[in-house]
Structure 1
Amino acid sequence: MSTAIGFKNVSKHFKGAGYNAVDHVNLSIEHGELITILGSSGCGKTTLLKMINRLYEPDEGRIEFFGEDISSSDPVKFRRKIGYVIQQIGLFPHMTVADNIATVPKILKWSKEKINARIDELLELVGLEPGEFRNRYPAQLSGGQQQRIGLARALAVNPDVMLLDEPFGAIDAINRINLQDELLKIHAASKKTFLFVTHDINEAFKLGTRVLIMDQGNIQQFDTPDNIVENPANDFVRSLIDSVKGQERFIGD
């Protein structure tokens, strides 16, 4: 496997904060992994994600994308290589499902035939029947269906890397589990690199091939779910695991 994303001594500080949002982080993510980034609010997980697609620039260090320093690329063109999904989804309400998915392909001047074929392909991939959903508007969809469309739109131009920032955070428990299962299928089918931010340890351990645990801008542990459960790196990780061991669906049970 090739390295998709590399952080080399990366730091980010926000004015007025008592500590770095991301503090001298070093890590490598291999292409094809589904990495979950776990931590409480303010731990640095979203900042880490936003530096990958250059919404934030690091104060120190460098970030590499398939071996290339991302600071040397045009930010707008670079972001087209990356899919980005957030909790708020951000579908355009005045546009149909098909037009929402086609947003970036149209900017890139794909042919109408190629766009239509891609829309149908992606709707099937996220478990929605094209004939039933392509002409609907966002207001006619459930929250879970909207999130699936957001995922399809992010996948539209076949990005090498997908960034997902708590995409299921506003979804009810049953739909959330269904979407998690769907995401695992989509990841397996796409063979892409996914980074998924969450504050839910069950979600992190269910989805992640490896889990990156953060606190106050620092990596506390970065390993497979099983290895983290069996060998917590420190007291912080140990307390995190102990806090949920009584929950029935926790992977460590």
Structure 2
Amino acid sequence: MSQTAIEFQNVTKQFDNAALPSVDQVSLTIEEGEFITILGSSGSGKTTLLKMVNRLYEPTGGKIFLFGEDISTVDVVKVRRRIGYVIQQIGLFPHMTIADNISVVPKLLNWDKKQTDERVDELLNLVGLLPLEFKHRYPSQLSGGQQQRVGLARALAVNPKIMLLDEPFGAIDAITRMKLQDELLRIHGGLKRTFLFVTHDINEAFKLGSRVIVMDEGTVRQFDTPARIVKNPADDFVASLIQSAREQEEFWRMTID
């Protein structure tokens, strides 16, 4: 029986000098092991919602619970060490080898060298990079797609129960992006961890998400499976997203024909 991994209770985030909240009274529940995508355009509140889970932003109102624990009552460093976090910019340390980049948090947690080395090799294999070929390289010696794989490996280093991914494939070419999407689905299927993935791409959101949070102007317009969203859009905004995706499909169909 699954348990609730993340719960938002009336969560609001109002930035100083902003006319409207970036996130406005969001309440929803995510079960352990789900792959949740958050879909929305720039300014919709999707990244703000994500960043409140690991307390990069603090809510103005409401509460967030991880496995039943109110995260506002937990030391912020402890919260972040329990969560994997991957961003578009990757953020690898250029002066450190790939192995050292992946082992940053295990070393902070005083893992012994043997355990750390074994974990680095395990994670490189998991993300499709041969350890002997890659672990002694530096980030500048890797392609963008390979660097993103290393960023994912680093986020998984201490086996977090929750992974936050903020448009991690946004700066990667279309072919590599599709390969990384497939790889991420494979990894999630093997780990059975809870993934929360932000994207502005409807095709990516619907391909990856077991359920999709559709956001606009700080509010959740719909939270459901891709199939149910397509079949029964909750409002005109969601319907317009579906229509835009269908028009793209029609364009390619017409081009091929």
AA matched with 1:207 = L
Q: Whose helix proportion is higher, 1 or 2?
A: 2
SS of aligned partner of 1:16: coil
SS of aligned partner of 2:52: helix
SS of aligned partner of 1:221: strand
1:233-252 alignment to 2 at 5 Å? Answer: 233-248=234-249
Instruction: Specify the alignment match of 1:163 in structure 2.
Output: 164
CA distance in structure 2 between the aligned counterparts of 1:17 and 1:29, rounded to whole angstroms: 29
CA distance in structure 2 between the aligned counterparts of 1:131 and 1:65, rounded to whole angstroms: 37
Instruction: Specify the alignment match of 1:137 in structure 2.
Output: 138
AA matched with 1:66 = F
AA matched with 1:232 = P
Instruction: Specify the alignment match of 2:225 in structure 1.
Output: 224
SS of aligned partner of 2:57: coil
SS of aligned partner of 2:44: coil
AA matched with 2:164 = L
Aligned-pair Cα RMSD in Å:
0.9
Instruction: Compute the displacement of 1:226 (Å).
Output: 0.3
Instruction: Specify the alignment match of 2:254 in structure 1.
Output: none
AA matched with 1:95 = M
Instruction: Specify the alignment match of 2:101 in structure 1.
Output: 100
CA distance in structure 2 between the aligned counterparts of 1:104 and 1:165, rounded to whole angstroms: 20
CA deviation map 1:9-38 (0-9, x unaligned): 110101222211110000000000000000
SS of aligned partner of 1:238: helix
Q: Is 1:187 equivalent to 2:202 in the alignment?
A: no
SS of aligned partner of 1:117: helix
SS of aligned partner of 1:23: strand
Q: TM-score, normalised by structure 1?
A: 0.97
CA distance in structure 2 between the aligned counterparts of 1:19 and 1:221, rounded to whole angstroms: 20
Q: Which runs of 5+ in 1 are unaligned?
A: none
Instruction: Specify the alignment match of 1:53 in structure 2.
Output: 54
Instruction: Specify the alignment match of 1:80 in structure 2.
Output: 81
Count of residue correspondences: 249
CA distance in structure 2 between the aligned counterparts of 1:52 and 1:96, rounded to whole angstroms: 29
CA deviation map 1:167-194 (0-9, x unaligned): 0000000000000000000101111000
SS of aligned partner of 2:12: strand
Q: TM-score, normalised by structure 2?
A: 0.96
CA deviation map 1:75-130 (0-9, x unaligned): 01110000000000000000000000000000000010000110010001001111
Instruction: Compute the displacement of 1:247 (Å).
Output: 3.0
User: Percent identity at matched positions?
Assistant: 70
Instruction: Specify the alignment match of 2:41 in structure 1.
Output: 40
Instruction: Specify the alignment match of 1:31 in structure 2.
Output: 32
Instruction: Specify the alignment match of 1:197 in structure 2.
Output: 198
CA distance in structure 2 between the aligned counterparts of 1:143 and 1:107, rounded to whole angstroms: 27
SS of aligned partner of 2:163: strand
Instruction: Specify the alignment match of 1:69 in structure 2.
Output: 70
SS of aligned partner of 1:14: coil
CA distance in structure 1 between the aligned counterparts of 2:61 and 2:131, rounded to whole angstroms: 46
AA matched with 2:105 = V
CA distance in structure 2 between the aligned counterparts of 1:170 and 1:28, rounded to whole angstroms: 30
CA distance in structure 2 between the aligned counterparts of 1:236 and 1:19, rounded to whole angstroms: 19
CA distance in structure 2 between the aligned counterparts of 1:140 and 1:12, rounded to whole angstroms: 40
CA deviation map 1:34-91 (0-9, x unaligned): 0000000010000001100001111111000000100000001110000000000000
CA distance in structure 1 between the aligned counterparts of 2:67 and 2:145, rounded to whole angstroms: 32
Instruction: Specify the alignment match of 1:2 in structure 2.
Output: 3
